[in-house]
Amino acid sequence: MKNGTIVIETQFLYDYNYPEKGITVGGTQRYALELANLIRELNYDVVFITKAKINSEITYDDFGKVISYNSKFGNLGNSNFSKRVYNYANKIKADLVIYSDILVSLNKKYEKSIAIQHGIAWDNPYENKLKSYILNKQYIKATLKHDKVVCVDTNFINWMREKSKKYFKKPDRLIYIPNFADESIFSYSTEKYGSLEYKLLYPRRLVKHRGFNIFTEMCLELINEGFNVVPVYAIDESNKDILYSQYPKLKDIKHILAFPKMSKIHEYYSEAYLTFVPTIWSEGTSLSAIESIMSGCPVIVSDVGGLSNIVIDGFNGYVLPPTIKAFKEKTKEIIANPALRDKLKENCIIMRESFGLKKWKTEITKIIRSVLER
């Protein structure tokens, strides 16, 4: 017999305009699905609530029930969506609501709830001052509504400390639990890199804030300078046209374009010389960076968001400003010094326990139980 039902709110479980395609596979979606696995292990039923352009209710054999509500896309629809999440949870007398998007809890927050803060997403050059001011106020107000907010990095915690004096009244409200990778999938590769061809891996979406332009320009410059590097893009197949439309010259050089399923992505980390996470803004503790570290492939990341929470500069990778020059020069240094790369790789194994799924489940379970038993 089940203990009850826990609702997981996650705005973007579907592609809003194409819900018929089913579950999308980005970082927050993968987080929500792993959260659901944990909740089922605790003997609770799970109901996902998400946004889409249609109202629907579908039960998936491997995910559980997914309810979509036709609320406006993005923050514009949060007020309506907030009420509908609250009303559904109230109707079924949910044991707990987990808000994957903290602003959804701003309008109507279910009494027994926790929130997940996936990282600051408004640190970009496009927010005007008024919009930034309003967003700041909304995030602070929504955060202070919860007794427990799980933060995937310390960046948001420091931001709250600077923005709100009320933070200091209950500093244990915000709990740092970084993202994770499954130890059973991302096993540590003990093999040394034996090729004179340097595969450089970019396992991220092709959107500007993820820095794929930095990675691509860096690779093209390295190739022009005579370095035997092969850029590897492990991306969603729908991104293929974006890449070639912006960089048609890639078709004239050796590169690898891969569309791996989640069960196969670990193979690309194991085969890469280095992994790159050159984020320009909007980052928590990148799943791609963690997966690479777990697999024993050093990572070069930018000094954005929570990336410095998982990469220790000079230990298991490097933390750099998000510029082509900085990434190129560091890559040249590591290519010229295989012993340095080997040392970075050896140090990656020390990080496995810190970023493994097992530890994450233990820490999240403590938070869930503390609210359920309240």
User: Could you say which DSSP state residue 197 is in?
Assistant: S
pTM for the full predicted model: 0.94
Query: So what's the pLDDT on residue 151?
Result: 98
Q: 327-358: per-residue pLDDT in tens?
A: 999 999 999 999 999 999 999 999 999 999 99
- CATH dotted code for 5-178+356-372: 3.40.50.2000
Topology agreement, domain 5-178+356-372 and domain 198-351: yes
pLDDT means per 10 residues, the chain with 374 residues, are: 92 91 84 95 97 95 91 90 98 97 96 96 85 92 97 97 95 97 94 92 94 98 98 90 94 94 88 97 96 97 97 98 98 97 97 96 97 90
State both tokens at 65: 């029930």
What's the token pair of residue 293?
Answer: 């570290």
State residue 126's pLDDT score: 82
Q: How many helices (H) and strands (E) does the chain have?
A: 12, 14
Q: Which residues face 46 on adjacent strands? A: 6
- In the three-class reduction of DSSP (H, G, I as helix; E, B as strand; rest coil), residue 298 is classed as coil
DSSP code of residue 313: B
The pLDDT value given to residue 40: 95
**Residue 130 pLDDT:** 87
Q: What is the per-residue pLDDT for 21?
A: 85
Decide if 295 contacts 234 (C-beta within 8 A).
no
φ, ψ at 48 (rounded to 5°): -90, 140
4 CB neighbour count, 10 Å cutoff: 13
User: Amino acid identity, residue 252?
Assistant: D
What pLDDT shows up at residue 261?
Answer: 82
Closest by Cα among 61, 63, 54 to 18: 54
Q: Which residues pair with 199 in a beta bridge?
A: 230
Contacts of residue 272, defined as CB under 8 A and 6 or more positions apart, other chains included, come to: 199, 200, 201, 232, 292, 297
Query: How many angstroms separate the Cα of 112 from the Cα of each of 104, 138, 261, 370, 374?
Result: 15, 20, 36, 10, 9
The beta strands (E) that lie in the chain are given as 5-9, 45-51, 56-60, 64-69, 96-99, 113-117, 149-151, 174-176, 198-202, 229-234, 256-258, 274-277, 299-302, 317-320
Per residue in 321-330, pLDDT (tens digit) is 999 999 999 9
Q: For the structural domain made of 198-351, what CATH number should be given?
A: 3.40.50.2000
> What are the structural domain ranges in the chain?
5-178+356-372, 198-351
59 within 8 A of 49, measured Cβ to Cβ: no
Taking the C-alpha atoms of residue 2 and residue 194, their distance in angstroms, rounded to an integer, is 52
Task: Check residue 121 and give its pLDDT.
Answer: 86
Query: Which 3 state secondary structure label does DSSP give 264?
Result: coil
Other Cβ atoms closer than 10 A to 322: 18
In the numeric block, which tokens belong to residue 351? 């990080």
